[in-house]
């Protein structure tokens, strides 16, 4: 059937030519057929042409600085390395049914003429000792050596034995603006030297993909198409400067669905320099667990605005505790820079080293105070979640018995006294345990859960349900109450603010 149709079409053309007529859409030119018509727009809009020329110039300049990385793994399954949720790291692009050596691919960015290349930690973390191969833009291949990794930022540095390599220009990620044009350059899905365009759609994203209490996430979000194999490649601005290292995507099918995430280049600069010089990162830490301050929390602590980050807990013997910081302090600025999200503080500190000093502007008891903190190395000691409040308990307090649950109906929560055995097992001297949380209530909306223990309310110790009831009875509709909890899930201390409904 196909042959018949083709024959009919060819025959029609032959007949038309013999008769001297021309079918619509065809024109004679020196006895030959001319296909197509005139250019619809003879002269491009200068602004459009300039933008296109800019894309072309940036792609030509940066693409030679981005390499493909092939990794032979030790057999660890990809399923163990990628979280089962909507956020995915996207390279290497492989998985296999049995734990056996296999190969994956990612991307990297050349940092120095003598062969230092940055990529993602998750691209090379399972590589065999001689299992990292770098393929240049001109197809020349090198075996690479792993210089160092930093799992907390998902960055790694490798090196090849080469000279006079093209080197990427590094920009300033602090200047990145939402809405600006960017290009993503890498090697997705086995397609070498691929360039996609988009805009910066958000900054300062924390998507919880790195994990661990020391994971540092402050991603630049972009809608430039990014897929498996782009991991470790460059996110570039219109000046041809690398502003980020592509690291993850938001997806439900492990492929591009609209949003990718890049590690800011300013963080890269510090990490890469440490890895090249020392083979590891000597990062300083403040030693705090912090959370965002929203309007309800701001009202509860007397700040009356949604700004800063709240110190939920401090590491014993850490920098913050040594400097005199306390639970419930709000950090408003660090070295004169506003801080309004935990990852903003984490990222700034991550660019500093042990022994560096930072100045914090804190809010405490209605006053603003500057505190100088000298950063110390990370310690894995327990956070000071169980330290006593500093107020003594009388004998009647220590003998409080379990009680019938008290329901605080206005906020949708029920509590009861802790037994002596519960206090001992939880290593607490005081507190009441949450026994129920009403669906869609203020307590549920503020993420209070069953088995959480309330140890303070409005900075006063809670030794019994009566203590908590008195504090709530003194509040009017619209007021906010500050609670300090010991979380049932991780045994860490956290502050929660509840607003009494009007």
pLDDT per residue as tens digits for the range 326-380: 999 999 999 999 999 999 999 999 999 999 999 999 999 999 999 999 999 876 5
> For the ranges 255-259, 293-297, 320-324, 360-364, which has the lowest average pLDDT?
255-259
Residue 33's alpha-carbon distances to 10, 11, 141, 219, in angstroms, are 14, 16, 47, 55
Nearest to 253 by CA among 488, 112, 90, 389: 90
> For the ranges 114-128, 246-260, 421-435, which has the lowest average pLDDT?
246-260
- pLDDT band at residue 32, thresholds of 50, 70 and 90? confident
Q: For the chain, give the longest Cα–Cα distance.
A: 116
Percent of the chain residues past pLDDT 70, beyond the cut: 83
> For the ranges 266-270, 329-333, 382-386, which has the lowest average pLDDT?
382-386
* Cα distance between residue 146 and residue 158, in whole Å: 4
| pLDDT (average), residues 433-441 | 93
Phi and psi at 343, nearest 5°, equal -70, -20
**Residue 204 — left, alpha, or beta (φ > 0 → left; ψ -120 to 50 → alpha)?**
left
Contacts of 305 (CB under 8 A, 6+ apart): 295, 298
- pLDDT band at residue 17, thresholds of 50, 70 and 90? very low
Whether residue 25 is predicted with pLDDT greater than 90 in this model: the reply is no
Residues paired with 221 in a beta bridge: 202, 261
* Cα distance between residue 403 and residue 342, in whole Å: 38
Question: With a threshold of 0.85, does the pTM exceed it?
Answer: no
- pLDDT band at residue 235, thresholds of 50, 70 and 90? very high
Check residue 439 and give its pLDDT: 93
**Per residue in 69-104, pLDDT tens?**
999 987 654 433 444 344 555 544 444 445 566 788
Check residue 56 and give its pLDDT: 96
Bigger pLDDT: 28 vs 101: 101
* Cα distance between residue 207 and residue 12, in whole Å: 62
DSSP single-letter state for residue 405: P
| pLDDT (average), residues 167-193 | 95
Specify the 3-state DSSP secondary structure of 475. Answer: coil
Whether residue 293 is predicted with pLDDT greater than 70 in this model: the reply is yes
Residue 240's alpha-carbon distances to 49, 174, 210, 223, in angstroms, are 18, 16, 28, 18
Check residue 383 and give its pLDDT: 42
- Scored b (16 or more CB within 10 A) or e, 422-441 reads ebeebebbbbbbbeebeeeb
- Scored b (16 or more CB within 10 A) or e, 85-124 reads eebbbbbbbeeeeeeeebebbbbbbbbeeebbbbbbbbbb
Residues paired with 457 in a beta bridge: 460, 483
Mean pLDDT of the chain: 84
| pLDDT (average), residues 460-468 | 92
* Cα distance between residue 267 and residue 216, in whole Å: 10
Residues paired with 374 in a beta bridge: 357
Provide the CA 478 distance to its chain's centre, in angstroms. 34
Check residue 104 and give its pLDDT: 85
Residues in the chain: 502
Active site residue ranges: 122, 154, 231
Q: Is the peptide bond before 54 cis (omega within 30 degrees of 0)?
A: no
**Token duo for residue 376:** 């110390």
- pLDDT band at residue 116, thresholds of 50, 70 and 90? very high
* Cα distance between residue 227 and residue 170, in whole Å: 23
Neighbours of 16 (CB within 10 A): 13
Check residue 90 and give its pLDDT: 52
Phi and psi at 17, nearest 5°, equal -70, -40
Bigger pLDDT: 26 vs 105: 105
Contact 95, 78 (CB under 8 A): yes
Neighbours of 491 (CB within 10 A): 14
Long-range residue pairs from 50-59, CB within 8 A, at least 24 positions apart, any chain = 51/181, 54/238, 55/183, 55/197, 57/240, 58/183, 58/236, 58/238, 58/239, 58/240, 59/183, 59/185, 59/195
Check residue 491 and give its pLDDT: 84
Whether residue 170 is predicted with pLDDT greater than 60 in this model: the reply is yes
Check residue 146 and give its pLDDT: 96
Check residue 23 and give its pLDDT: 52
């Amino acid at each position: 059937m196909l042959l018949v149709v083709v024959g009919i079409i060819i025959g029609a053309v032959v007949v038309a030519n013999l008769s001297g007529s021309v079918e619509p859409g065809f024109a004679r030119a020196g006895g030959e057929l001319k296909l197509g018509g005139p250019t619809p727009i003879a002269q491009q809009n200068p602004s459009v042409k300039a933008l296109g020329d800019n894309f072309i110039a940036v792609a030509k300049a940066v693409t030679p600085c981005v390499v493909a990385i092939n990794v032979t793994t030790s057999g660890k399954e990809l399923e163990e390395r990628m979280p089962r949720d909507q956020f995915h790291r996207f390279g290497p692009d492989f998985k296999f049914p049995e734990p056996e050596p296999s190969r994956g691919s990612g991307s990297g960015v050349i940092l120095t003429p003598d062969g230092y290349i940055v990529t993602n930690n998750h691209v090379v973390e399972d590589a065999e000792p001689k299992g990292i191969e770098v393929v240049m833009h001109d197809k020349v291949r090198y075996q690479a050596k792993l210089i160092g990794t930093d799992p907390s930022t998902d960055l790694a540095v490798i090196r090849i034995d080469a000279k006079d390599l093209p080197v990427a220009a590094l920009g300033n990620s602090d200047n990145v603006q939402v809405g600006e044009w960017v290009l993503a350059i890498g090697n997705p899905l086995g397609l070498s030297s691929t360039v996609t365009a988009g805009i910066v759609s958000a900054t300062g994203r924390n998507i919880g993909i790195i994990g661990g209490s020391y994971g540092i996430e402050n991603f630049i979000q972009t809608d430039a198409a990014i897929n498996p194999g782009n991991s470790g490649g460059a996110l570039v601005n219109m000046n041809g400067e690398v502003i980020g290292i592509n690291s993850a995507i938001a997806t439900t099918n492990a492929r591009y669905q609209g949003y990718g995430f890049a590690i800011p280049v300013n963080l890269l600069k510090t990490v890469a320099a440490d890895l090249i010089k020392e083979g590891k990162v000597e990062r300083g830490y403040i030693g705090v667990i912090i959370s965002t301050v929203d309007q309800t929390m701001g009202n509860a602590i007397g700040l009356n605005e949604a700004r800063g980050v709240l110190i939920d807990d401090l590491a014993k013997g850490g920098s913050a505790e040594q400097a005199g910081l306390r639970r419930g302090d709000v950090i408003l600025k660090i070295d004169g820079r506003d801080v309004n999200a935990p990852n903003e503080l984490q990222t700034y500190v991550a660019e500093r080293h042990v022994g560096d000093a930072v100045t914090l502007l804190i809010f405490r008891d209605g006053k603003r105070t500057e505190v100088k903190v000298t950063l110390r190395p990370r310690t894995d000691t327990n956070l000071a979640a169980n330290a006593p409040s500093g107020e003594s308990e009388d004998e009647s307090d220590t003998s409080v018995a379990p009680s019938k649950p008290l329901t605080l109906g206005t906020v949708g929560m029920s509590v009861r006294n802790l037994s002596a055995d519960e206090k001992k097992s939880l290593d607490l001297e005081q507190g009441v345990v949450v026994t129920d949380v009403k669906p869609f209530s203020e307590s549920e909306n503020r993420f209070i859960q069953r088995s959480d223990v309330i140890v303070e309310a409005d900075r006063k110790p809670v030794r019994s349900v009566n203590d908590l009831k008195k504090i709530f009875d003194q509040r009017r509709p619209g007021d906010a109450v500050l609670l300090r909890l010991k979380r049932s899930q991780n045994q860490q201390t956290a502050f929660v603010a509840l607003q009494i409904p009007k």
